[in-house]
Amino acid sequence: MPDLARIIALNRAGDPVAIPSVCTAHPDALEACLTLAETLDQPIVVEATSNQVNQDGGYTGLKPADFIRFVKDIAARAQVDPARILFGGDHLGPQAWRKLPADQAMAKAQRMVADYAAAGFTKIHLDCSEGCANEPAQLPDAITATRSAALAATALKHAPDPAQLLFVIGTEVPPPGGARTDDHGDIPPTTAESARATLAAHRDAFAALNLPLARIGGLVVQPGVEFSPMEVHHLPLTRDPGLLAALADWPGTCLEAHSTDYQHPEVYPRLAELGFAFQKVGPALTFAWREALYALDTLRAQNGWASGPSLPDTLEAVMLANPGYWQAHIHGTSADPRSERHFGLADRIRYYWPDPRAQQAVQRLMADLDGKRLPDPMLLAHFRPSEIASARASAYPLPRALALARVQTALRPYFFTGPRS
């Protein structure tokens, strides 16, 4: 299992190292991520969110123990050493039940955290920052910390080895894909004062329950990175929000950055220099998968090999038939809602790949391309030379290998240091 404490210690000592946390339940995207980590001899964190995986199955239908088996099965088939994989829970709190009164929502969150800890998740992001029924949308630090400490106590009680648990805390958690810009279009970073207040609130809440402060290993703050459905807000490389100063009295704690998808490659080592040893990525992985499949679909159409409707047309029909995963996220001001459904950076289309019609369409695409000659000049219009070379060296059929390689292109910038297993 990756040693997060060692990675934190190295980073806090001035060594700009970090570990990526991949947040996806897409089996092919996961395989691409795990095999890249294996190839580069790197550790990797695989995370599940509270909406995605919980005691009720979440939107994936998987409970916490199911998710770990699911990922380990993928790793076994891909011949990836399971020892390099660590499991994390993302946004664990009452969010999935926030329409309920707080006591009911927290009871469900307690059960969820107990199941995550018992299943073997060891990196636990405690997120109680959002209000429940009849509460403000964003809660004050004291309430957030009190609820988070209660969940931490539950995790410590149910973990097979409590000493392996590492908690990530934070009250300024960016909403996924929901960029909050100032009047100048910038993403304001968290202030050091705000970070200190969050840490102080959690110190008090943990002390009230006699919980070990040493188990707090990460603090979620906003460094100034984000993406909205159609725009990426890149980190200014010269910016230093001074957040490491807030950790002066917390030597075993690092910073965690969310929504780091789609940043320039130079951003990730810069984030590590700024103290962000934990770097989250999610939608960019399935965005890359969709990108590759649509490119293959274009090649199929250009060569007259299609045996049925195009992949985008099939996915459009699937999304229109079940708009629940995109409708609230695409507003009336969108000039081209179809483009945003298919190409938006929040990648709402990722929720539709498990649909049987989508799966059949992908299988038909691969079957139509099976055995077809795809020379490099044709592929270079859609794929990078490195992706083509990687795919041609793979044991998989070329179309599938190209799609996996595109996902690895999205993840590779996060592995900017040497082996750290």
Does the residue 417 lie in any domain?
no
**How far lies 181's CA from each of 188, 195, 220, 270, 344, in Å?**
7, 19, 18, 21, 18
Place of tokens 């969940």: 151
| Residues in a beta bridge with 216 | 167
Q: Say yes or no: 81 and 146 in one domain.
A: yes
Band (186; pLDDT cuts 50, 70, 90): confident
Q: Say yes or no: 310 and 262 in one domain.
A: no
Domain stop point among 233, 267, 282: 282
Tokens of 248: 């002066």
| Residues in a beta bridge with 167 | 124, 216
Residue type at position 262? Y
* pLDDT value, residue 176: 45
Q: Say yes or no: 347 and 399 in one domain.
A: yes
Residue 328 sits in which domain range? 286-411
The answer on pLDDT for 61 being more than 80 is: yes
Q: Say yes or no: 325 and 203 in one domain.
A: no
Which of the pair, 186 or 240, is modelled with greater confidence? 240
Distance, in Å, from the CA atom of 198 to the CA atom of 220, rounded to the nearest integer, reads 10
Mean pLDDT of 326-340: 79
Share of residues in the chain with pLDDT > 90 (%): 91
Place of tokens 């399935």: 286
The answer on pLDDT for 332 being more than 80 is: no
Band (184; pLDDT cuts 50, 70, 90): low
Mean pLDDT of 332-354: 88
The answer on pLDDT for 101 being more than 90 is: yes
CATH of the domain at 396: 1.10.400.20
Q: Say yes or no: 305 and 215 in one domain.
A: no
The CB-side HSE value for 63 (13 A sphere, CA atoms) comes to: 10
Tokens of 247: 């950790």
Does the residue 222 lie in any domain?
yes
Band (415; pLDDT cuts 50, 70, 90): very high
The answer on pLDDT for 333 being more than 80 is: no
Domain stop point among 236, 259, 282: 282
Range name among 155-164, 322-331, 374-383 with the lowest pLDDT average: 322-331
φ and ψ of 367, to 5 deg: -65, -40
The distance from CA 328 to its chain's CA centroid, rounded to whole angstroms, is 21
Mean pLDDT of 376-399: 97
Range name among 177-181, 191-195, 252-256, 303-307 with the lowest pLDDT average: 177-181
* pLDDT value, residue 330: 81
* pLDDT value, residue 417: 84
Band (174; pLDDT cuts 50, 70, 90): low
Angle separating helix axes 311-321 and 356-369, nearest 10 degrees: 180
Does the residue 418 lie in any domain?
no
The distance from CA 67 to its chain's CA centroid, rounded to whole angstroms, is 15
The string of pLDDT tens digits covering residues 124-141 is 999 999 999 999 999 999
Q: Say yes or no: 73 and 168 in one domain.
A: yes
Q: Say yes or no: 85 and 222 in one domain.
A: yes
Average pLDDT along the chain: 94
* pLDDT value, residue 1: 78
3-class DSSP string for the chain: CCCHHHHHHHHHCCCCCCEEEEECCCHHHHHHHHHHHHHHCCCEEEEEECCCECCCCHHHCECHHHHHHHHHHHHHHCCCCHHHEEEEEEEECCHHHCCCCHHHHHHHHHHHHHHHHHHCCCEEEECCCECCCCCCCECCHHHHHHHHHHHHHHHHHHCCCHHHCEEEECCCCCCCCCCCCCCCCCCCCCCHHHHHHHHHHHHHHHHHCCCCHHHEEEEECCCCCEEECCEEECCCCCCCCCHHHHHCCCCCCEEEECCCCCCCCCHHHHHHHCCEEEEEECHHHHHHHHHHHHHHHHHHHHCCCCCCCCHHHHHHHHHHHCHHHCHHHCCCCCCCHHHHHHHCCCCHHHHHCCCHHHHHHHHHHHHHHCCCCCCHHHHCCCCCHHHHHHHHCCCCCHHHHHHHHHHHHHHHHHCCCCCCC
Tokens of 334: 């969108």
Q: Say yes or no: 273 and 199 in one domain.
A: yes
Whole-structure pTM value: 0.96
Residue type at position 196? R
CATH of the domain at 130: 3.20.20.70
Residue type at position 375? P
Query: Structurally, how many domains does the chain consist of?
Result: 2
The string of pLDDT tens digits covering residues 247-304 is 999 999 999 999 999 999 999 999 999 999 999 999 999 999 999 999 999 999 999 9
